[in-house]
Amino acid sequence: MELADLAEELSGIVGARFVRTERAELATFASDGLPTLRRTPALVVLPGSAAEVSRVLAALHRRRVPFVARGAGTGLSGGALGEAPAALVTLTRLGRILELDPDNRRAVVEPGVVNASLSRAAAPFGLMYAPDPSSQTACTIGGNVAENAGGPHCLKYGVTTNHVLELEVALPAARPGGPISSAPSSAARACSASRRRSRCAWCRCRPRCARCWPTTRACGSRAKP
């Protein structure tokens, strides 16, 4: 693989400023929330739309370059790390809430939407997005789906796959995967498979608790905030 040629092709898709190849730039993406584990990718590309995701994956597929999708990189499992010759496809630019339907308690979001932002957007309607990992102010919905993230609320409401109704995925051959079944097992497979990537997700929102304790408190604590 000629890295310069690949970087030039990807720059033509997403713009040169959203392709990172310099060693210092790649160091930012070499670890996740567990800094003792480091893997440096060959390059990093940051698409800004679902169409760009499909085109990026098609280019990598044609050149037989493996890839790893990355959200905010707040996980602790190494799931957001890619080691050369793999490319890292970072989806934080896809950060729009496309639809919020309070009547049906449903939100359609891009994978780069920050977890806590969805709950803030739903709050005026008396709703919340229940999965609340400790990194909820930084982590993204796409990363949560890939890792099946949880949090204190999940003891009552279930983990991320219990709140994903459908997924639209992009395949390396640039064929949109279309909506995926809402069954938790298929939703998990759709996002964790290494050769596809979520482009948007239909998420379930729930009524807010009459009294929601801060997530930093121990479960079962009866102390007032």
Indicate the pTM of the whole model: 0.79
Q: pLDDT of 89-138, one tens digit each? A: 999 999 999 999 999 999 999 999 999 999 999 999 999 899 999 999 99
pLDDT higher than threshold 70 for residue 8: yes
pLDDT higher than threshold 60 for residue 215: no
How much is the pLDDT for 61?
A: 92
CA dist., res. 28 & res. 40, Å (int): 9
Query: 36 and 10 in contact (C-beta within 8 Å)?
Result: no
Phi, psi of 221 (to 5 degrees): -65, 135
Which helix (H) or strand (E) segment is 179 a member of? strand 176-179
How much is the pLDDT for 9?
A: 96
Which helix (H) or strand (E) segment is 44 a member of? strand 43-45
Q: pLDDT of 65-86, one tens digit each? A: 999 999 999 998 888 999 999 9
Q: Which residues pair with 20 in a beta bridge?
A: 44
**Domains within the chain, CATH numbers bracketed:** 3-90 (3.30.43.10), 97-207 (3.30.465.10)
Q: State both tokens at 109.
A: 């979001």
pLDDT higher than threshold 80 for residue 179: no
pLDDT higher than threshold 60 for residue 142: yes
Query: 131 and 159 in contact (C-beta within 8 Å)?
Result: yes
